[in-house]
Amino acid sequence: MDFSVKANGVEFFLPPGRFHVAYEEAHALLVENERFRGSETRPQIWDGFEDYLARFFALEDHFSDLLEGQPLIHRLWLGGSYVSSKVNPSNIDVAVLVNAPGEERIKGKPRAGWMTRAFDRHVVLPDFRVSSLRISYRPVRSVFKSRTLAAEDQDYLRERGAWDDWWQRCRPPGAKGAPTLESAEPRRGYLEVAP
């Protein structure tokens, strides 16, 4: 797997799609890759990302009885300039697919406040160099006859699809501000990682 698509005319990206890789493979591709040997930011950003994840793992340990072995994070989606050929990105974009049933078990408990702070850009970006967003993952038995699904299941499927679409978009070179219809077509890929 390599960055082969010049989606924005400047950096190379993965081809459109979601690519599932092991955590170690993501690290090898995004940090240890020969093309990033001279990067001044990638190792520090990855360290911040690992510190960010460690907060979730600490909650899993603390609430292990309530969680009954379930993780708080179902999957991670990694994207943005960190998942490109850019040698010195400024942060890593991360969508955290939070295990909603597990989160419900610890909601409101002392020390569980991280589940809210983890998605506060003003806290997370400066402290960890992570630009995070939350997708509430819930297992859904079937997508057929979706109108008969519970509202929270419909919301999950809609949200997941919207973010899958969003993460494959790429702004044209030099574009700033709000997205445009011209940037709506899938132009780049992103990684899905099981922590």
The tokens of 69 are what? 């072995």
The one-letter code for the residue type at 39 is S
pLDDT band at 55 (very low <50, low <70, confident <90, very high): very high
pLDDT band at 112 (very low <50, low <70, confident <90, very high): very high
- Rounded Cα distance between 23 and 56, Å, is 16
Q: How is 97-129 classified by DSSP, letter by letter?
A: EEEHHHHHHHTTSTTTTHHHHTT-HHHHHHHHS
Residue 177's pLDDT is: 76
- Rounded Cα distance between 38 and 58, Å, is 33
Region 84-113 average pLDDT: 94
Residue 45's pLDDT is: 98
pLDDT in tens, 129-149: 999 999 999 888 888 877 888
Indicate whether 176 pLDDT > 80: no
pLDDT band at 174 (very low <50, low <70, confident <90, very high): confident
Indicate whether 153 pLDDT > 90: no
pLDDT band at 171 (very low <50, low <70, confident <90, very high): confident
Q: Where are the domains of the chain?
A: 17-169+188-194
Residue 192's pLDDT is: 97
**Residue found by looking up tokens 């950096």 in the block:** 11
- The pTM assigned to this predicted structure is 0.91
Tell me what percent of the residues of the chain surpass a pLDDT of 70: 99
SS3 13: strand
Residue 139's pLDDT is: 86
